[in-house]
Structure 1
Amino acid sequence: MEKIFLNNTLPDIFSSETDLRSEIWKHNVSFERGGRYLIEASSGTGKSSLCSYLYGYRADYSGDILFDNQKIRDQKVSFWDTIRSRHLSLLFQELCLFPELTALENVLLKNNLTNYKSAAAIDDMFDQLDIAGKKNTLVGKMSWGQQQRVALIRSLCQPFDFIILDEPISHLDDENARKMAELLLHESEEQNAGIIVTSIGKHLPLDYSKVLLL
């Protein structure tokens, strides 16, 4: 996948709004593979909705969203299986980790499906993010900031053309945010992948190709 294109897209909940001040909703917007994009948003402007649309969980919007030249609305399950396993990775704002499993077990849930990373590579990512000592800790006993780092590692355990990160560092200090950015940048450059980051304040420290106001 080389491009994600939004064509006059608008969440249905905003259909009666007459004073939208968005650079995304009701505009034509392209995200190119290899680019780095920051979407700055206020609470309630549709940030998580946008992520859900791009990942195929919801379709309550007008206009169109296209992957390359293919509209994604009403696509079959097989289409989304391929997209989510090979082309698009998502770090959820809610993280969606299993608290009753360890950090490593959460990561392996994905990697056992994709066989994308070696055990050594996974260990190295835990080391880079300073949570090597937490691999065998139950996620439910970890801080939210530690969980965010686990969720990033899990999101990197697959091939992708684009990776979407929904408020990925909301509970991290600057140093740990920098380490996350370095790991993400290395992994995305290996695949010439696009990065789309959302933020309602604190944002991942990257050299962004474009900053858009939602």
Structure 2
Amino acid sequence: MEKIVFESVLPEVFSGSDNIHSEIWRQRVCFQRGHLYLVEAESGKGKSTFCSYVTGYRHDYSGRILFDDVDVRSYKTGDWTNCRISHISHLFQELRLFPELTAYENVDIKNRLTGFKTRKEIERWFELLGIADKINVKVGMMSFGQQQRVAMIRALAQPFDFLLADEPISHLDEENSIQMGDIMMAEATRQGAGVIVTSIGRHIGLNYEKVIRL
């Protein structure tokens, strides 16, 4: 996948409002593979909705969303499954980890879908993010900041053309935020992928090529 295009997209919940001041809603916006974007939004402006549209979990909008000129309204369940396995990786704001599984098991449950990363590569990420000692600890016993790092590792353990990182550092200190950004961008660059980071405030300090106000 080389590009994601929003054409005159407007969530149904905003359909009755004439007071829409957005660089995405009701606009034409193109996200291209290999580029780095920051989507900034105030609370209630539809950031989570935007993420859900990109990943196909919601379809309650007017307008069109195109993946390589194909309207995603034509996608069937199998198309979305393939997309999420091989083309779009999503670091969820709410993480969606399995608390009863260990940190490594949470990563491996995704990695086994494609066998994309070796155990050594995954363990190296745990080391770089300062949670090597938590690799066999159940996620439910970890802090939210530690869980955020596990979720990032899981998001990177697959092939992707685009990485959607939804508020990835909300519970991290500056040092861990920088490290997470470095690891994320290194893997995205290795895959030639585009990265879309969302934020309602503090965000990873990266060299964003375009900042878009939602």
TM class by shorter-chain length? over 0.9
1:20 maps to: 20
In the TM superposition, what are the counterparts of 1:168-183 in structure 2 within 5 Å?
168-183=168-183
Distance across 1 between alignment mates of 2:16 and 2:190: 43
2: distance between equivalents of 1:172 and 1:20? 32
Which residue is 1:133 aligned to? 133
Consecutive aligned runs of 4 or more in structure 1 exceeding 4 Å deviation: none
Shift, 1:19, TM fit: 1.1
Unaligned runs of 5+ in 1: none
- Matching residue of 1:40: 40
Deviations 1:147-190 (A, max 9, x none): 00000000011000000011110000111000000000100000
Alignment-mate amino acid for residue 184 of structure 2 = L
* In structure 1, distance between residues paired with 2:140 and 2:45: 30
CA offsets 1:121-151 (integer angstroms, 9 cap, x no match): 0000101111101101111111111000000
Kindly provide the amino acid, as one letter, of the partner of residue 132 in structure 1. Answer: A
Q: 1:82 Cα shift?
A: 1.4
CA distance in 1, matches of 2:4, 2:67: 5
- Amino acid paired to 1:70: V
- Residue 129 of structure 2 is aligned to residue 122 of structure 1: no
The match for 1:144 is 144
**Identity across aligned pairs (percent)?**
55
Q: Whole-Å Cα distance in 2 between the matches of residues 17 and 148 of structure 1?
A: 35
The one-letter amino acid of 1:109's match is I
The residue aligned with 2:96 is 96
What are the Cα deviations for residues 79-137 of structure 1, in whole angstroms up to 9, with x where unaligned?
11211111100001110001111101101110111100001000001011111011011
Partner of 1:11: 11
2-structure distance, mates of 1:66, 1:29: 10
Q: Separation in 1 of the partners of 2:191 and 2:105?
A: 25
Mapped partners of 2:153, 2:61: distance in 1: 31
Q: 1:14-93 alignment to 2 at 5 Å? A: 14-93=14-93
Q: Which amino acid aligns with 2:77?
A: V
Whether 2:204 is the aligned partner of 1:204: answer: yes
Alpha-carbon RMSD: 0.7
Name the aligned partner's letter for residue 30 of structure 2: S
Q: CA deviation at 1:74?
A: 4.2
What SS is found at the alignment partner of 2:149? helix
* TM-score (norm: length of structure 2): 0.99
Matching of residue 107 in structure 1 with residue 107 in structure 2: yes
